[in-house]
Structure formats: C-alpha cells, structure tokens
Amino acid sequence: MLTKPFEALHLGDHTTTRARTITETDIVLFASLSGDWYPLHTDSDYAAHSIFGQRVAHGLLILAITSGLLIMEPRLVVAFYGMDRVRFTGPTFIGDTIHVETEVVVREDRAERGGLVTFQIETKKSTGDTVLAALLKILVAKADPTSS
Amino acid sequence: MLTKPFEALHLGDHTTTRARTITETDIVLFASLSGDWYPLHTDSDYAAHSIFGQRVAHGLLILAITSGLLIMEPRLVVAFYGMDRVRFTGPTFIGDTIHVETEVVVREDRAERGGLVTFQIETKKSTGDTVLAALLKILVAKADPTSS
Amino acid sequence: MLTKPFEALHLGDHTTTRARTITETDIVLFASLSGDWYPLHTDSDYAAHSIFGQRVAHGLLILAITSGLLIMEPRLVVAFYGMDRVRFTGPTFIGDTIHVETEVVVREDRAERGGLVTFQIETKKSTGDTVLAALLKILVAKADPTSS
Amino acid sequence: MLTKPFEALHLGDHTTTRARTITETDIVLFASLSGDWYPLHTDSDYAAHSIFGQRVAHGLLILAITSGLLIMEPRLVVAFYGMDRVRFTGPTFIGDTIHVETEVVVREDRAERGGLVTFQIETKKSTGDTVLAALLKILVAKADPTSS
Amino acid sequence: MLTKPFEALHLGDHTTTRARTITETDIVLFASLSGDWYPLHTDSDYAAHSIFGQRVAHGLLILAITSGLLIMEPRLVVAFYGMDRVRFTGPTFIGDTIHVETEVVVREDRAERGGLVTFQIETKKSTGDTVLAALLKILVAKADPTSS
Amino acid sequence: MLTKPFEALHLGDHTTTRARTITETDIVLFASLSGDWYPLHTDSDYAAHSIFGQRVAHGLLILAITSGLLIMEPRLVVAFYGMDRVRFTGPTFIGDTIHVETEVVVREDRAERGGLVTFQIETKKSTGDTVLAALLKILVAKADPTSS
C-alpha cells in the first residue's frame, strides 16, 4: 500500500493485498489477547441462536489482520495518525478468506513534515462482500523534504 | 460501560475500567497474530534510534485491549456499528499500565430497534496521559422496545 | 461469584456464569503452555481408540477456564487458600460449551481478617452434564472489618 | 513420577522433575487463555501496592506447569480422578525457577481395575520454598491385571 | 533418542517417539511466530487450487515439532552442531498424526570432548508416509571422558 | 530474497532482510509449540551455570524466524526442496536483534520445471556475528517455461 514517497502517490492509486483465511484459532487468540469474550465470538450455542447462526470474528480482529496484510515501508511512514469512519459492514465467519483493497482518497501537503495521505481501505471476502471499511490517515515521507 | 438499557443511559454518564499492564509479550503476540512486524514495535535497535527511544505498542493492540477492558452485557448490545475519530494520541511503552474512561456523548432513538449510543472513550496511562481516543457507536437494546 | 463482602454472603447463595465453547485451539494452547502432551488430549489416533473415541480436554484446562469464568472483585479477595475435592467427573470434548455454577457452602468468621468462604463450584456442559466439581476456599473481605 | 505399574510402586517412592523458569510471558498467556485478569497477576501498579510488591503468577498456572513437569507413561494411567488439599503456599514471582517433588502416600488395590495411588506433590522454587502442595489421585494400571 | 552416553550408543540403534496430531492451530501459531504467511499454509482458497488441494503444514513446523518429540537428556548433549540433508519428502495436512524414528548412522570419537553422533531421523504419518528426513549432528557426552 | 524468476537470478545476487529482536516471549512460545523444553532455553538457573551464562534461543527458533524474514513471492516458488549444511554457529540471547543475508550460490536449469536455486543464507546479529548458516534449495519458476 505504501511503497512510494508522497510525491509519487496520486489520488486514485490503488493496491490489493495477499489473502488470509480466518480460522477458529484466530478468534480464540484474539479473544484471549484482548480479553473480549463476547459470546457471539466465543460461545457456539449463543451464536447458533443469533441472526448469524454461527460464531462471528471480532471486528477488531479483522482490523488487526487488515493492518498486517498491508505493506508499509518503514522509512516512508512518518506517523500513523488514526482512522475515521471505521465500519464493520458484514460478518466474517470461520473459514472465510479475506484480502484488503486500498485507494488514495486525500493528499495534503505538510511542507517539510511530509504529506498527510488518507487511504480508503476495504477488507473483502473472496466472495466479494466487504466486511470492513475505514479511512486511514498516515503522514508519509517525501523523497525530497524541501519539495511541496 | 454498557450495563444498562437505552432508557437508563444519559448524556454524560461515565465509567472507568480496571487496568492492565502492557508487556513485551502483548506486543510480540499482536505482531504475530496481526502479521504487523513494523520495526518500531519489534526491532529494538530501530526503536532505540527513533524519536521514542524504545519499542512502542501497536496502536491497534491498544485498541484491542481497550475493547477487552470495556464491560458490555451481551443482551444490551444489538450491534457494534463502528468507530469514528480513532486517534493514537501518544506512545504506549512496555510496562505502562492502562485503563479506559468512557462517556455517553450522543443518544439517538431508533424506535423499536433500540437506541444508537455514541461513547467517547479515552485510554489512559496511570500517569494520566491519553494514548487512544475514539468514538464508539453501538446500537443498544431498550428495556421496553415499544418506548421512544 | 464474589461481588459482595463477607457479611452479605449467605449459605446457599448461588450464581451462574456466562458460557464458553471449548475449542481444539484451547487444547493445543494448554498442552503447549503446560507441557502436558498426554496423547488422550493431543493424539487423535490414540484418542480414537480410547473409551472416549475422540480427544478430551485436559481436566486442568477446564479448571483454568472455570477460574476465568468466575467473577471476583479484587477488593473482596483477601487470599485464595486453595481447593478441596477437585473431581473431573466427565469428559469435555472439542465443541462442548461450558459454564460454571457456584454455591456458598461454608462460612467461617475470621474476625478482623475477614471471613473464610467455601464455594462449591460445578462446571457443566449445556447438556447439563457436570465435568468438574470442586470446593474453593477464599478469604473474603468484610465491609466492616470490626464486625463479626 | 509414574513410570512403573501399580505392583512396582511403593509407599514413600519419590521423584524429582526437571525445572522451568516462570516468565512474564507465562503469566500473560495464562491470563489470556483462562480469562483470569485478576490485577495481582496483570496490573503491575496494583501489584506494587500489594503485600507482595510485584506481580504474582496465578496459582492455577503453577498447577498447570506442575502437571507438565510430571512424567506419566500413558499406558500406566487408567484415569486421573482428581486432587485433594490443593494449597497455594507461597507466591511465585516472574523469574522464579520451579520443579516438582512427588511421593507415593496411599496405595489402594482395586482388583482388576488397577490400583488407586495418591501422590503428594510439592512444587518448589530453587530457593527451597514450596509454592504449591496437593494430593493427586490416579488409577494406575497393573503389570498383571489378575494380581492383587 | 539420546538417553545413553556415547560409549553406549551403537551404529544402528533406533528409537521411536510418541505421536502428535497436527492441527490448524499449530499452523496458525507457526505462521504467527515465524512470520511466514506463505499462502499454501494460510490461504485455504489458494491451497484448494494447488496440487495438494488443501492447506499444508510448513516444513519448518514439522521440523520444530520433530525436535520436541525427541527425548534428549540435557547432561548428554554437549552441543547441537546442525543438520544435513534436510528434506521435506511429502505434505503434512491438518489432522495428520506424526511420530519420529531415529537411527545412529555415524559415530566419531572426539576424545575428551565426547563423541560426534549423526542420527538419521524420519518423521512419519500414521499411514507410514515419511514427511521429513534429516541428519542431526550432536556432540554427545561420554560416561568416562578419558575413554576413547 | 525471491522476487524474480529463474532467468533473472544470477550467481552472487544477494539480499538483506529487515530485522527482528528476539524476546523471552519468542523462546517461551517456541518451547510451547515445539514441546522442546531443553533447560538451556527454559531454565534460567541451569543456563546461568552453562558456558553461555544465560538462556539461549533454540536453533530451530532462529531458523523459523529466518524463514519469516525472507520474502518469497508465491508464484515464483514451485517447491521448497530442503536444506543442507544447517549450522548453528553461535548463541542468540534474549534482546539480540537479527536479520538475514542471502546469496545465490548454485543455479541448475530443470527445463520446463523451472530452475533449482541454492541460496546461502546467513542470519546475523546487529553486532555482525553469524548465528545460523544454511543452504536452502528452492525450485524457482521461469518467466518463460520454454526457455533454458
């Protein structure tokens, strides 16, 4: 997603990542690490009686895996500011395989500090359904810090 | 944070969670699970030469742990819509102890579907520094679905 | 289980916890962490030829998860003395969902040190079968340390 | 601990296991897997103000690791009945190295089913302090099932 | 595999270990710890279209588990030199149960330093298929360091 | 390491990977997953009295992490044949930061099946010390399968 300096990133640039299958192991590990044992994720009886009919991955697990699927060259990331409009747009089930699509949607020059770039990311199943959408705001280094 | 139905939640209601110490283990486990081995988190030589002078926890690890510190009664959560204005406002280092403070900032009645509640959350170190701020949007059940 | 001080706990008080589904992941993680690779838990060929016909969760894994399902307010627990009559009364298989039921069975006043409370705990599958029974002995704080 | 059939086990037989160092990682992994985030184990600020002055390993973590340090030949274990008088006799801190000492304290012949053997186990630090004591009751196979 | 000093090891000595079932959890944990998310191991769609038709365990995961199945008495291992001719001779799938067979194939006396022993190891499924073969070179202690 | 097809790989081509700090967590997780609790890795008292004076990472942990540091494009890897002359040339301690250097040392054309490439890999600490050396044999795809 981020393999070029600010000057070489253009509005509309898009990338697609490799894919990863979401497993029961991922859900148990995320519940364990976060401490979030909400029953829709970790109680198969409860989940069977929900509108989903089965256990659903934590939204924040999908967000965490999304971050790992993205490729960011360290020397280009000046700072990770945050995220806006993070939306969990559909359930991810055990066995679903997801990848991430990214697009540059805002470019703001910040002079010698670099450029603030907003990426629209969409995490999708191999069926094409989007399960997560968000805007990521990253301060990106310039190739030439004196350019503008 | 969410132990009462929509009717009993009022603007300005706030809660404070228990605390948890962030360890090197948490960082290694999150890098492992997410696949995000960004060197500021996992390369102590690199981190020593950064402006932070040491390794920093992933922002999304702090967000994951924040979600686990919050207490939400399953029967009250109709849906987790998403998050807005997620900001990583300061570094969390190995050994820092964090807790979460929450406040009801928006209440929107959605008739028989429940009420959409926006919580402002702030994750703070025991020093008082805020390391994460975000707005969480949750559709909350009503005690009486026919009320409005 | 333990959300009230000694004076407010009465013989026969009982509580029921949330539930959690036991997964293959839990068994592998417990074998890994403990170092107990007994084949009934970790060798599916061996287990298939046992009287259970399949892999069985470690008894101590069920005990560990039982401890996490219980809710104990830190300020009320003066000390965890130990356990008596810990019995593994039936096998827990991959996919079983368990919860814990507790009852106050002994109350012993220890003056200003608090009160020693014995809880009978039973861990049950959603089928109603008990898989673990034990007596837990906990020194509980008093609301008024000078009471008796 | 259990490498001989019932007939070859005698009252007073004792064994000593290998040792293992308890790490912060073990505590975080056990809190994660069990769901027991009691602050004495996982909040270093809270623990610093406790009578121990630092974080303490979960008693059940020590019990789990104890079980993995014991060596039991699968063909000799007919059934693990349970435990009596499980006592957490002292705190285990990060960096402590523990091993287990076992002794046969009761032998009960159960005819063709084998023999019920009670082992007294003591888990000790390298300083000699005992941190866990318990009685383990195991139904042990006979070399000759028709003996008595 | 290594429970006797150099003098007591003879060419052709062989041992067989206990077995362990390879689970999806093992694959996810190894991908996590190593950082190797090659899609044949972690993307079930990709694997379904490979010549194997399903996900395959990492070769190095099988090697890691092989090392844990071997029994080596610490006082006998002077040093682990390395491995030769490590070959991944067939795929290991989720649910396969593996064990290891070892044979002493070379003995080289190194005077007072001990003896350099080469073990041929073969990791096999319960079907008999070999999935890993390697030569392990270990410097083994002597019972009598002055013997030759 | 492997981002170009066989025709574009030349003898002497070399690459250097990103770095990763080896933590106590990595050692505990690898001992757990593999089942290898050899005391030089997991018993700090034992290790303190060894020639190293402290705990040492498992050689196979370093090999596993080495594999994850290497970058291999899936479409280019036809098969991972195995390894030769794997040597653990020095100890890796907790806190050491390692990276991998690779060099193409043998190229063998295998006609339409691709090309068998042998990479010499060396895993080094930031001090420059080599802790692992090995030859990796990989069957690499051709850009034009009919070339030779």
Tens digit of each residue's pLDDT (9 = 90 or more) over D50-107? 999 999 999 999 999 999 999 888 889 998 999 999 999 999 999 999 999 999 999 9
Q: Is residue C146 part of a domain?
A: no
Long-range contacts of B104-108 (CB under 8 A, 24+ apart): B104/B9, B104/B10, B104/B11, B104/B12, B104/B13, B104/B14, B105/B11, B105/B135, B106/B11, B107/B6, B107/B9, B107/B10, B107/B11
Distances from the Cα of C108 to the Cα of C11, C144, E115, F103, angstroms: 11, 16, 64, 72
Q: Quick check: pTM over 0.80?
A: yes
Report the pLDDT value the prediction gives residue F74, as an integer from 0 to 100: 87
CB of C54 less than 8 A from some CB of F: no
CB of A50 less than 8 A from some CB of C: no
| Mean pLDDT, range C50-73, rounded to an integer | 96
| DSSP, res D76 | G
Tens digit of each residue's pLDDT (9 = 90 or more) over A64-94? 999 999 988 888 999 899 999 999 999 999 9
CB of F29 less than 8 A from some CB of E: yes
Q: Is residue B1 part of a domain?
A: no
Tens digit of each residue's pLDDT (9 = 90 or more) over E64-87? 999 999 988 888 999 899 999 999
Q: Which of D19, D25, D95 sits opposite F28 (nearest CB)?
A: D25
In F, minimum Cα distance to C32 occurs at F32
User: Does E45 contact A95 at a Cβ distance shorter than 8 Å?
Assistant: no
Q: Which of A24, A29, A37 sits opposite C20 (nearest CB)?
A: A37
Report the pLDDT value the prediction gives residue F148, as an integer from 0 to 100: 60
Q: Is residue D1 part of a domain?
A: no
The β-bridge partners of A5 are none
The yes-or-no verdict on residue D108 having pLDDT over 90 is: yes
The yes-or-no verdict on residue E42 having pLDDT over 90 is: yes
Amino acid letter, A83:
M
Q: Is residue E78 part of a domain?
A: yes
CB of F37 less than 8 A from some CB of C: yes
Overall size of chain D counted in residues: 148
In chain E, beta strands by DSSP E? 14-16, 20-21, 77-88, 97-109, 115-125, 130-140
DSSP letters spanning F45-99:
HHHHTSTTSS-B--HHHHHHHHHHHS-B-GGGEEEEEEEEEEEE-S--BTT-EEE
Report the pLDDT value the prediction gives residue E71, as an integer from 0 to 100: 87
In C, minimum Cα distance to A44 occurs at C21
Do A63 and A121 touch, CB atoms closer than 8 A? no
Closest CA to E82 of E30, E5, E139: E139
Q: Is residue E104 part of a domain?
A: yes
* Partners of residue A25 in chain C, C-beta under 8 Å: 23, 25
Q: Which of A82, A86, A88 sits opposite B88 (nearest CB)?
A: A82
**Element housing D135 (H / E):** strand D130-140
Tens digit of each residue's pLDDT (9 = 90 or more) over D39-61? 999 999 999 999 999 999 999 99
Mean pLDDT of chain C: 95
User: Does D45 contact B126 at a Cβ distance shorter than 8 Å?
Assistant: yes
Site of tokens 């519940």: A31
| Shortest distance, CA B32 to any CA of chain E (angstroms) | 4
Report the pLDDT value the prediction gives residue C1, as an integer from 0 to 100: 82
Q: Is residue E145 part of a domain?
A: no
User: Does D84 contact C84 at a Cβ distance shorter than 8 Å?
Assistant: yes
Mean pLDDT of chain E: 95
The yes-or-no verdict on residue A46 having pLDDT over 80 is: yes
Q: What subunits touch chain D, counting only 3 or more CB pairs under 8 A?
A: A, B, C, F
| DSSP, res A8 | G
| Shortest distance, CA C46 to any CA of chain E (angstroms) | 9
| DSSP, res E7 | G
Closest CA to A61 of B133, B113, E28, F61: E28
Q: Where are the alpha helices (DSSP H) in chain B?
A: 24-34, 39-42, 44-48, 59-69
* Partners of residue E20 in chain F, C-beta under 8 Å: 35
Residues 6+ apart with CB under 8 A from E55: A21, E24, E27, E40, E41, E42, E43, E44, E47, E93, E94
Q: Which of the four pLDDT bands, split at 50, 70 and 90, describes residue C148? A: low
Q: How many CA atoms lie within 13 A of D16 on its CB side?
A: 7
Cα radius of gyration (chain E):
18
* Partners of residue D58 in chain C, C-beta under 8 Å: 67
CB of A46 less than 8 A from some CB of C: yes
* Partners of residue F18 in chain B, C-beta under 8 Å: 37, 39, 43
Q: Is residue A34 part of a domain?
A: yes
D115 — alpha (psi -120 to 50), left (phi > 0) or beta?
beta
Amino acid letter, B127:
T
Tens digit of each residue's pLDDT (9 = 90 or more) over B87-105? 999 999 999 999 999 999 9
Q: Which residues of C34-63 are buried (b: 16+ CB within 10 A; e: fewer)?
A: bbbbbbbbbbbebbeeeeeeebbbbbbbbb
The β-bridge partners of E109 are E115
In this structure, how many other beta carbons lie within 10 angstroms of the beta carbon of residue D99? 18
Give the span between the Cα atoms of D114 and D86, in whole angstroms.
25
In a mutational test of the D interface, the residue from B24, B29, B97, B125 whose CB has the highest number of chain D CBs within 10 Å is: B97
CB of E32 less than 8 A from some CB of C: no
| Mean pLDDT, range F25-53, rounded to an integer | 97
**What range defines the domain where residue E93 resides?**
6-140
Give the span between the Cα atoms of F85 and D25, in whole angstroms.
33
Give the number of domains in chain B: 1
CB of E33 less than 8 A from some CB of C: no
Share of chain D above pLDDT 70, in %: 99
Tens digit of each residue's pLDDT (9 = 90 or more) over C90-138? 999 999 999 999 999 999 999 999 999 999 999 999 999 999 999 999 9
CB of E28 less than 8 A from some CB of F: no
Q: Is residue E125 part of a domain?
A: yes
Closest CA to A53 of A98, A93, A26, A88: A93
Closest CA to E29 of D69, A29, B137: A29
Q: Are strands A130-140 and A77-88 parallel, antiparallel or unpaired?
A: antiparallel
Output the domain CATH number for residue A20.
3.10.129.10
Tens digit of each residue's pLDDT (9 = 90 or more) over E10-39? 999 999 999 999 999 999 999 999 999 999
CB of E43 less than 8 A from some CB of A: yes
The yes-or-no verdict on residue E1 having pLDDT over 90 is: no
Tens digit of each residue's pLDDT (9 = 90 or more) over F71-128? 888 889 998 999 999 999 999 999 999 999 999 999 999 999 999 999 999 999 999 9
Closest CA to C66 of D20, D64, D87, B99: D64
ipTM of model = 0.94
Do D60 and D45 touch, CB atoms closer than 8 A? no
Give the span between the Cα atoms of C117 and C10, in whole angstroms.
10
Q: By CB neighbour count within 10 A (0-12 exposed, 13-18 middle, 19+ buried), where does B94 fall?
A: middle
Report the pLDDT value the prediction gives residue D62, as an integer from 0 to 100: 98
Task: Kindly give the parts of chain B with pLDDT less than 50.
Answer: none
C91 is written with which tokens? Answer: 């096998």
User: Does D37 contact A32 at a Cβ distance shorter than 8 Å?
Assistant: no
